[in-house]
Amino acid sequence: MTEQVDIKEINEKIQRESAFIDLLSLEMKKNIVGQKDMVERLLIGLLANGHILLEGVPGLAKTLAIKTLATAVDAKFSRIQFTPDLLPADLIGTQIYSQKDEKFTTRKGPVFANFILADEINRAPAKVQSALLEAMQEKQVTIGEETYKLEDPFLVLATQNPIEQEGTYPLPEAQVDRFMMKVVIGYPKKDEEKLIIRQNITNEKTQINKIINVQDIIRARELTREVYVDEKIENYITDIVFATRYPEQYKLAKFSNMISFGASPRAGINLALASKAYAFIKRRGYVIPEDVRAVCFDVMRHRIGLSYEAEAENVRSEDILGEILNTVEVP
């Protein structure tokens, strides 16, 4: 009985505290036409403290969405354009020798901000990528002999272009795994496209207002952690992850030769956290199976290794996930 009372209490608290989500979404809509899923995923990253990788062809408002979110949140923002000649020091900073003082001083790089937009992350060599990914994982960087804590919240929103692979350095699986979600963005609908053209040929400048500050985000994150996850939902998440590793145990033997490696333990953790954040956005204090299904593709698509057989038969990780969701028993 107490459990039910607690859930009711959490539910009421979240309904009270999550009002800013609607305000933030409305502010984003001033600049972003359509792309509701992308905006929702950015908010999930914000609430669940997870980094996000956005993939889509040029011109789909990936960079604009991230800049708009950073403006609507009163926080420090850095944009880093990844290029083949970028060095780790350009990212994290370096030590500079002062002849006047005869000592080294540290100059911090653009990674010392709340929001980092890593534009076209696959254009930079592995050394730079690993410098950023270390910061993402450890929330700290080492310059010389000193270790510096990064800002809180610290959110990396990276973009990559799936076409034009010449001169790019694809992110290794172990590095991609550090991103909570990989969001694939499609083209806008016809009426949305018309509105985009109309908005961009006028002289009007859109004013984005500050909706929340850093302290509000930290409080919202703590609340998101309080969202209730039933044991049945935990079992459901575990089954989805295990079905990518041992498909034959879930009557999906046809995928045994198609998966070279299944989802990592990070997948289950992130699936649960993203489901909690999705429930928070929907102003609910508990997770339902629909929340898990809603975020599953974005959390899992980059965590399944495809074999040569899968590539030869044009089977994508999304196809495998779709079958898993249709097969695994919903609580």
Does residue 126 sit in the same domain as residue 232?
Answer: no
| Number of structural domains the chain divides into | 2
Paired with 183 in beta bridges are 54
Is 206 a domain residue?
no
Q: Is 252 exposed, middle or buried (0-12, 13-18, 19+ CB in 10 A)?
A: buried
Cα separation of 293 and 81, whole Å?
34
The length of the chain in residues reads 331
Does residue 168 sit in the same domain as residue 309?
Answer: no
Is 269 a domain residue?
yes
- Say what the pLDDT of residue 170 is: 78
Does residue 191 sit in the same domain as residue 77?
Answer: yes
pTM, full prediction: 0.85
Cα separation of 69 and 61, whole Å?
12
pLDDT in tens, the chain (331 residues): 334 547 888 888 888 877 888 888 888 877 777 777 788 888 899 899 899 998 877 766 777 777 888 888 888 888 888 888 888 888 888 888 877 777 888 888 899 988 888 888 888 888 888 888 778 888 888 887 888 898 888 888 888 877 666 667 777 777 788 899 998 887 777 887 787 777 777 766 777 888 888 888 888 899 889 888 989 999 999 999 999 999 888 888 888 888 888 888 889 999 999 999 999 998 888 899 999 999 999 999 988 888 888 888 888 888 889 988 998 888 8
Cα separation of 73 and 210, whole Å?
6
Does residue 63 sit in the same domain as residue 156?
Answer: yes
**Tokens at residue 229, please?**
């996850």
CATH number at residue 125: 3.40.50.300
Does residue 46 sit in the same domain as residue 149?
Answer: yes
Does residue 190 sit in the same domain as residue 233?
Answer: no
Owning domain of residue 41: 35-196
Does residue 73 sit in the same domain as residue 128?
Answer: yes
Cα separation of 324 and 301, whole Å?
12
Is 12 a domain residue?
no
- Say what the pLDDT of residue 175 is: 74
Paired with 88 in beta bridges are none
Residue that terminates a domain, selected from 145, 178, 196: 196
CATH number at residue 276: 1.10.8.80
- Say what the pLDDT of residue 1 is: 34
Is 254 a domain residue?
yes
Does residue 62 sit in the same domain as residue 143?
Answer: yes
Paired with 55 in beta bridges are 160, 184
Cα separation of 230 and 15, whole Å?
19
Does residue 244 sit in the same domain as residue 132?
Answer: no
Is 152 a domain residue?
yes
Is 294 a domain residue?
yes
Residue that terminates a domain, selected from 196, 216, 240: 196
Does residue 182 sit in the same domain as residue 232?
Answer: no
Does residue 117 sit in the same domain as residue 235?
Answer: no
Cα separation of 69 and 65, whole Å?
6
Does residue 185 sit in the same domain as residue 257?
Answer: no
The separation between CA 101 and the C-alpha centre of its own chain, rounded to angstroms, equals: 43
**Tokens at residue 217, please?**
């985000």
Is 13 a domain residue?
no
- Say what the pLDDT of residue 146 is: 83
Lay out the sheet containing 77-81: strands in order across.
77-81, 115-119, 155-160, 52-55, 181-184
